Amino acid sequence: MEGQHKSRKEDHEILVATYDFEATIPQTLSFKKDDNFIFHSMNNIKKNWWSIINSHGRVGYIPSNYVTITKVKKGKVIDYINTAIENLSSDISKAGGSDKQLEAMKELISRKQDILQRRSRSRDNSEKREKLSCSKSLPNSESVPQSCDEGGDQSDPYPTTAPLVMRISVSETKFPCSEGQSSSESRSESFSHQSYKKKQAPPVPEHCVSSSTSLEAEVKLEQPVAESVEPALGNISPQSIYLLIHQVRNQTGLSHEESRIAAGVAGEGLLDILPPEATPGLESFLQLLHANTAPPESVYDETRDAINLRGILTHLHTAREDAQQRSWHLWDDEATIKQHISQMSSILSNADHAISRRVLKQGNYDDITMLVDYYQMEERFCIRQLLIQTFAILCSLDKLILSLLLNSVLPMELAREMESNRGSPHKIEKPAMLLAMIFSLGEAMPITHLDQLGGDFVKMVLEIIESDDIEDIEDAMVTLILSYNLQFKPKSSSNITLMALSEMDSAKNFTEKIMLLINREDDPIEKLKVHDTPYHSVLKLLKDVFSSRSTAKFFYTNDIKVLIDIIVRQITDQPPNSKRRSDYLELCRLVLFSCEDSSFEHRVDELKDLFNYIVNEEQPSVPQDKNIIRQMVEGLPQHFG
């Protein structure tokens, strides 16, 4: 029974492809028959698609009916993960790791460590069970005083000096055990050695001592031996591990996260090649490494990244003051300033964000104000572009920095730059994307910004979308509109986005882009990787647009039909109590009330079935969703009554 339980616990799952599959839509992966995969940790076991990691370390979706789940042993899973780590490491070293690749690498290492830790715990438990078994087999010392002359079994179950000699010899090994190993574990090893000697049937000594005497001798000798073989783990602490990661970064030029992964890969590799005696120390190291515990903040101040960042900011303070004092530029300083800004961007991108935040926070964020002032007074395009890149990196560090930038003069300066360079598409893309980042939290801009960032500005952006044939520029402008619209509350009468859109003669390109995004379930704001946004920007914009016929008119009948198809699919797929489902039900209500009947008649029967199920059968019931459906049924009785 126990063996069966153990076997069941060691089983792990691997997915095996039963057919070839060619990916034709984003976020899916191609594969061949008999390819193997493991589940991704974020997999939600959707009805038709499963999120997996393939043997190249790539994360994506595969159709669930193209694979079977197979139970395998731990060793096969570890081999699979090792292969994926090796392939992914190769890709990262060639082209630099994307955020998605780094996240996949982190998960693979964590999964392997988890399996190894469980195997270690299983081994410890096995040793304890063996110890307990041996203890139970020892007869009561009072009933066993027997002489060797009585002709007992030569495989004497009682400890003699031979096993003790073996235990003492352990202390001479080159790779000592961890000090974290308890004395009970040492005793477990003792019994293991005794058991081994018993199986080898050692010769009986000429003069055998009683069991009570031998046990007493073992107790006296065992404790000092256990202490003598327990080595120090060394300085394994969050601080020492953090400094090691920083040393890897200094020597290799890798980012902080890549350096952490590199240290983990090296540690995992050492587990496989060093003797077992080194395992406890390495496992302690890896456990702390994967826990990613922050060191004391004072450690950040002495890192090379912190020192270099403070030095660069000091140089830029000097450059700004120098520019304020002169009405002309010292053009000889351009190369130096560009070098400083590029180095600052590199540190902000690749260093631990905790270091950057601490350096900026120490000056009460005055350095942010200094950079904004410098951007405002700097006229050289090449330097302004580098500063825009720096601001974009700063946006991802801290929400407070986003708020500071929104309430500074920077948004107005960016708007002026876009207006001045409207005829030069390559000069407006970066300012537009930075503005999208600044607006991405949905915080309302100050009223003082309206002169530069009001209706005329939004109309200009919409006109660029309609007139420009460069796809990257169109995408940047659409992202800006989506982000800008987040600041207006639903049903707001002062939504500048809607007011500007209603004044347009046509918005064909804009509506096509929005339809493409909603069909793919994409949100460009999420791809900015700044911070979590309050809404799905595309869904919010559609709800705002269809709240009025003056803006809903820009969507053609075919667009509405496709949108209804998407809505039906989403309502069907989303679970109860999902905010996303409630949002799609609300969008459905707005679309049905603002469009012609011919736009949704092809889906009336499916909508009726969905509404009936949610209102009358679904458990647990969702009052909010029921209320939205009742409004549709009462407002359109000819279709749903």
Q: For position 332, what pLDDT does the model report?
A: 65
Q: How many Cα atoms are found within 13 Å in the side-chain-facing hemisphere of 369?
A: 7
Comparing 122-126, 206-210, 462-466, which segment has the lowest mean pLDDT?
Answer: 206-210
Q: For position 165, what pLDDT does the model report?
A: 31
Assess contact for 372 and 327: CB atoms under 8 A. no
Per-position DSSP letters for 299-362, written without gaps between them: HHHTSHHHHHHHHHHHHHHHHHHHHHH-SS--GGGHHHHHHHHHHHHHHHHHS-HHHHHHHHHH
Indicate the length of the chain as a whole number.
641
Distance CA 582, CA 423 (A): 42
Query: Across residues 406-430, what is the average pLDDT?
Result: 94
Q: For position 113, what pLDDT does the model report?
A: 78
CA dihedral 70, 72, 78, 84 (to 10 degrees): -20
Could you tell me the CA-to-CA distances from 69 to 5, 14, 64, 83, 156 in Å, in that order? Answer: 20, 6, 10, 20, 50
Q: Which pairing describes strands 36-39 and 49-54: parallel, antiparallel, or unpaired?
A: antiparallel
Could you tell me the CA-to-CA distances from 309 to 251, 253, 279, 429, 520 in Å, in that order? Answer: 18, 16, 38, 28, 41
Assess contact for 384 and 375: CB atoms under 8 A. yes
Q: Exposure pattern of 122-148 as b/e (b: 16+ CB <10 Å)?
A: eeeeebeeebeebeeeeeeeeeeeeee
pLDDT exceeds cutoff 90 at 188 = no
pLDDT tens digits for 103-114?
888 888 888 878
Give the tokens for residue 99.
Answer: 């955020």
Query: Across residues 497-503, what is the average pLDDT?
Result: 96
Query: Across residues 103-127, what is the average pLDDT?
Result: 71
Distance CA 82, CA 73 (A): 15
Query: Across residues 586-597, what is the average pLDDT?
Result: 94
Distance CA 363, CA 342 (A): 21
**What are the backbone angles phi and psi of residue 538, rounded to the nearest 5°?**
-70, -45
Assess contact for 491 and 545: CB atoms under 8 A. no
- At 505, the amino acid letter reads D
- 381: part of which helix (H) or strand (E)? helix 381-395
pLDDT tier, 44 (very low <50, low <70, confident <90, very high otherwise) = low
pLDDT exceeds cutoff 80 at 154 = no
Q: Which residues contact 158 (CB under 8 A, 6 or more apart)?
A: 138, 211, 214, 215
CA dihedral 314, 319, 322, 323 (to 10 degrees): -140
pLDDT tens digits for 524-564?
999 888 888 888 999 999 999 999 999 999 999 999 999 99
- 211: part of which helix (H) or strand (E)? helix 211-229
485, 585, 602: which is closest to 545 by C-alpha? 485
pLDDT tier, 230 (very low <50, low <70, confident <90, very high otherwise) = very low
Q: Is 619 exposed, middle or buried (0-12, 13-18, 19+ CB in 10 A)?
A: exposed
Comparing 197-201, 458-462, 468-472, which segment has the lowest mean pLDDT?
Answer: 197-201
Query: Across residues 575-601, what is the average pLDDT?
Result: 92
540, 537, 550, 442: which is closest to 501 by C-alpha? 550
- What's the topology of domain 2-105? SH3 type barrels. (2.30.30)
pLDDT exceeds cutoff 80 at 438 = yes
Angle at 134 between CA 124 and CA 203, to 5 degrees: 120
Assess contact for 290 and 110: CB atoms under 8 A. yes
pLDDT tier, 485 (very low <50, low <70, confident <90, very high otherwise) = very high
Angle at 383 between CA 316 and CA 367, to 5 degrees: 30
pLDDT tier, 102 (very low <50, low <70, confident <90, very high otherwise) = confident
Distance CA 89, CA 110 (A): 15
pLDDT tier, 233 (very low <50, low <70, confident <90, very high otherwise) = low
Query: Across residues 255-282, what is the average pLDDT?
Result: 91
- 67: part of which helix (H) or strand (E)? strand 67-72
What percent of the residues of the chain are helix, what percent strand, and what percent coil, each to the nearest 5? 70, 5, 30
Could you tell me the CA-to-CA distances from 129 to 102, 125, 126, 180, 320 in Å, in that order? Answer: 40, 6, 5, 20, 71
Q: Exposure pattern of 291-314 as b/e (b: 16+ CB <10 Å)?
A: eeeebeeebbeebebbebbeebbe
pLDDT exceeds cutoff 90 at 123 = no
Instruction: List the strands of the sheet with 49-54, edge to edge.
Output: 59-63, 49-54, 36-39, 12-17, 67-72
Assess contact for 137 and 292: CB atoms under 8 A. no
pLDDT exceeds cutoff 70 at 475 = yes
pLDDT tens digits for 305-352?
999 999 999 999 988 887 665 555 555 688 899 999 999 999 999 999
Delimit the domains of the chain by residue range. 2-105, 236-295, 298-397, 411-555, 558-641
User: What radius of gyration do the chain's Cα atoms show?
Assistant: 34
pLDDT exceeds cutoff 90 at 126 = no
Q: For position 100, what pLDDT does the model report?
A: 81
pLDDT tens digits for 510-522?
999 999 999 999 9
Q: For position 253, what pLDDT does the model report?
A: 92
pLDDT exceeds cutoff 70 at 128 = no
Assess contact for 14 and 80: CB atoms under 8 A. yes
pLDDT tens digits for 51-100?
899 999 999 888 888 999 999 888 888 889 988 988 887 787 666 677 78
Q: Exposure pattern of 546-562 as b/e (b: 16+ CB <10 Å)?
A: bbbeebbebbeeebbbb
pLDDT tier, 190 (very low <50, low <70, confident <90, very high otherwise) = very low
Q: For position 604, what pLDDT does the model report?
A: 92
CA dihedral 559, 561, 563, 564 (to 10 degrees): 160
- Helix, coil or strand: residue 153: coil
Average pLDDT, the chain: 80
